[in-house]
Structure 1
Amino acid sequence: MAPTQHIVKLHSGSREFSTLSNYSQEDIFVNENKKWTRIVFLIHGFPDINSSFDASWDTILNILPGTLLLAPTLRGYEPSSQGNLKDYKLSQLADDVRSWILEVSPEGTIPVHLVGHDWGAGVSFKTAHTYPELLASISTLAFPYLTNIKPWEMLWYCPLQMYYSSYIFTMQFAFLYKKKLTDKSKNSYINKLWKFWSPTWKFSEDDIEEVKETFQKPGVPDSATAYYRCMDLKELAWPVDFDKVPTLILGGDSDGCMTKSVYELEARKLKNVPNVKVQLLSKLGHFLHRQDPVKVAEIFSDWILKHDV
């Protein structure tokens, strides 16, 4: 945990989510004098956890003083938020975000911004599509817009993506993913995945240890991979009205999970669309916010500041 962090609890129905925050539970839910003028949610991806943005914490708060910063644990990454393994659709995850927003800002008078990495980015797109009235902006990391790309365009312009996405097959079957995700060795599947997805990042065992520990918890391997098993064409549709929700799309040009050609295609398709920006960062991989936490935080914090209405 960063020095300015507290652990608070957010809820969605009967599910409870452990959340890192710069304010305490009492400050958020009991004290009447609120000290913030905006709310920023930091939403992690796979295989990762909500401390993913810890190294960016101070940078964000320096650029955005007066912010309530919240980094929730996504559905299924702890026993208190688990449930039926069919209940991990993007629409249901977006409902979690809606519940979190309404829990901390029931009157809806404070601007709310989402910053999502990987699956957190997909959740951010889906939330912006479904509940645009709740959001001032979103910033997505390592997961491009996609919903505007036709299958033939992906095959023609981004053929390497088929290979990059082949890991999704592993997530369909417990006999494949469970042993891999619970391996704690230095040569584990998670180590290899991080290295392949962020080949220019020399991460340490300390960087990855907490993630490995999370996948030792009961139900987490099944729940975290259920996201992939709950995907369908309807769930993968998230057209965003960028006039209502200004959107920043950040990627690394060395990403081994999402090829840079997808971002380049998105940049061409969205170049004349107002209120959306696609930006590729040099020599950064899939975990770009971990690899260069200050630079990445500066970019999405500036986007938030620009669209803080």
Structure 2
Amino acid sequence: MERFERDGLVFDVRDGGPPDGEPVVLLHGFPQDSSAYDRVAPVLHGAGLRTLSLDQRGYSPGARPRGRSAYRLREVTADVLALLDAAGLGSAHVVGHDWGGAVAWALGAWHPERLRTVTSLSTPHPAAAGRAVLTSDQGLRSSYMALFQLPVVPERLLLARDGAALRGVLENGGLPGDAVDRYVGRMREPGALSAALAWYRALPLSVRDPVGRVTVPTLHVWSTGDTFLGRTATERSRDHVQAPYRLEVLEGVPHWIPELAAERTAELVTAHVRTAG
């Protein structure tokens, strides 16, 4: 597969590995794209797994609808179901990082019949995250989301001087220069940053559809160097899984797990897939 359509939107997909291998859907976060898994996917292919790396809604140039309601969690999870349908897959393993992790949790709660396993990189269960905002330092860690709710201002701040502010955030977070160049370049495309920020702006709408308990085997990978997502929500996520659950902590790794801990991530995902099988 190279692309599929849903409701007039065209999504880009990277389809790799053995065609008959266990299918693993890879979902990126902000402000990444499917290239976040460029070092993870080949290791999974070597283990006999097929990967479908999706440029999600707002990131695929042909899938940038206007308005925050188009980026509710219900909509972005439906995109993944449409990918499975287009690929002729009744179910698949789903791996998500950052916002992709939120999608993975939601799929595991709302559509367990379509998932074989869930793996969330960095991101806690949405309910655990919501509670942690009120009871820990997670509120401070997530304070940038309030800025992202404003119209126009975040786009101007992040893209001023050829995206210097966005570039600085990514570089300070430890991302290698080639990844920073790719992501900043993508966000400078017309309408791209506004579409990516719409995921945050849709949060007040998404909370109306709470994510309940996940009922498929779940792997949660968190890193102690993550400045955006703290330990409290991470440790409470197990309370929202009614299935085999494992938390793996990566010491000293920043938020960008797929890029900065690719081999370990691939090893953990492979083991998780095989255990569930």
TM-score scaled by structure 1? 0.81
> What one-letter code is carried by the residue in structure 2 that aligns with 1:56?
V
The SS at the match of 1:279 is strand
CA distance in 2, matches of 1:302, 1:10: 29
Does residue 205 (structure 1) correspond to residue 188 (structure 2)? The answer is no
- 1:170 corresponds to: 147
Asked if the contact 1:214/1:220 (under 8 Å) is kept, the reply is yes
Alignment of 1:103-122 (within 5 A): 103-105=86-88, 108=90, 111-122=91-102
Alignment counterpart, residue 35 of structure 2, candidates 51, 59, 66:
51
Greater Rg by CA = 1
Could you report, residue by residue, the CA deviation over 1:83-124 in whole angstroms, capped at 9, with x for unpaired residues? Answer: 131210000001111111111025x2xx51110000001111
Question: Which residue pairs with 2:103 in the alignment?
Answer: 123
Pairing 1:241–2:220 present: no
CA distance in 2, matches of 1:97, 1:290: 22
Distance 2:231 2:171 in 1: 17
Q: Which of 116, 120, 128 pairs up with 1:140?
A: 120
Cα gap change, 1:128 to 1:184, in 2 (>3 Å): farther
Aligned counterparts of 2:103 and 2:72: Cα–Cα separation in 1: 9
| Partner residue of 1:77 out of 43, 49, 59 | 59
How many residue pairs end up in the alignment? 275
SS of equivalent residue, structure 2 residue 126: coil
The answer to whether residue 240 in structure 2 is matched with residue 284 in structure 1 is no
The answer to whether residue 204 in structure 2 is matched with residue 224 in structure 1 is no
Corresponding letter in the other structure for 1:175: V
What SS does the aligned partner of 1:114 have?
Answer: strand
Alignment of 1:84-103 (within 5 A): 84-85=66-67, 86-103=69-86
Preserved CA contact (<8 Å) 2:29 2:99 = yes
Offset, 1:274? 4.0
1:155 to 134, 145, 155: 134
Distance (whole Å) between structure 1 residues aligned to residue 23 and residue 55 of structure 2: 17
Per-residue deviation, residues 53-84 of structure 1 (Å, max 9, x unmatched): 10112211122x1x331111110113310113
- Give 1:189's match in structure 2, choosing from 162, 165, 173: 165
Q: How many angstroms apart in 2 are the aligned matches of 1:120 and 1:78? A: 14
Query: 1:155 corresponds to which letter in structure 2?
Result: L
For each residue in 1:22-52, what CA deviation from the matched residue of structure 2 results, as whole angstroms up to 9, or x when unmatched? 16xxxxxxxxxx9414211110000111100
Q: Distance in 1 between matches of 2:118 and 2:3?
A: 23
| Percent identity between the two aligned chains | 20
SS in structure 2 opposite 1:283? strand
Structure 1 gaps of 5+ residues are 1-6, 24-33
- One of 41, 46, 57 as aligned partner of 1:62: 46
**Counterpart of 1:266 in 2: which secondary structure?**
helix
Q: Give, in angstroms, the shift of residue 139 of structure 1.
A: 0.3
For structure 2, the 5+ residue unaligned runs are none
| Separation in structure 1 between the aligned mates of residue 274 and residue 198 of structure 2, nearest angstrom | 35
- Helix, strand or coil: the match of 1:87? helix
- Residue type of the alignment partner of 1:129: A
Match of 1:294 among 239, 246, 263: 263
Deviations 1:166-206 (A, max 9, x none): 11122112332112333465x8222333355x3xx3x3321
1:55 aligns to what SS in structure 2? coil
